[in-house]
Homo-oligomer: A and B are copies of this chain.
Amino acid sequence: MSDSNTTLADLRDLVRRFVEERDWRQFHSPKNLSMSLAIEAAELMEHFQWIDIAESRSLRSQPQKLAAVRDELADVLCYALALANELEVDLATAVRDKMVKNAAKYPADLSRGRFDPPQAQP
């Protein structure tokens, strides 16, 4: 079972069951979940707070640190899935639609190696 054979729906079901078994939907308002998502994103960021960019790239080959970051990334994902469950949003479609918008905002040929949208470039 890996990213290659796990669907978004599989993970959504996993989160949904966990929440329902604990009667936690009462806490899972979209407002609260948006806070949870930001809180977990900050916990993930904490691991990168004081290190420089090169060190952050090397974290991939430090098993202990990577395991901690992986756990925080899982937390972020769990809350994103929980929010999608509450709002009844299809994530695969949402991501594909957003990538189409992103591709229009950042045309590949004009955006190579530049992070600003081309219209903002001199």
Q: Which residues of A contact B (CB under 8 A)?
A: 1-12, 14-15, 18, 21-24, 26-27, 29-32, 34-39, 41-57, 59-60, 66, 69-71, 73-78, 80-81, 83-84, 86-99, 101-103, 106, 108, 111-113, 115
Q: A39, B48: Cβ atoms under 8 Å?
A: no
Majority SS at the chain A contact face = helix
Residues of B contacting A32 in the complex (Cβ-Cβ under 8 angstroms): 49-50, 53, 56
Instruction: Give Cα A1 to B96, complex, Å.
Output: 10
Contacts A32-B49, A73-B80 supplied; 16 other A-B pairs, CB < 8 Å: A2-B93, A3-B12, A3-B93, A8-B8, A15-B99, A22-B111, A27-B115, A30-B60, A31-B53, A32-B53, A34-B48, A37-B44, A60-B86, A70-B94, A71-B94, A74-B95
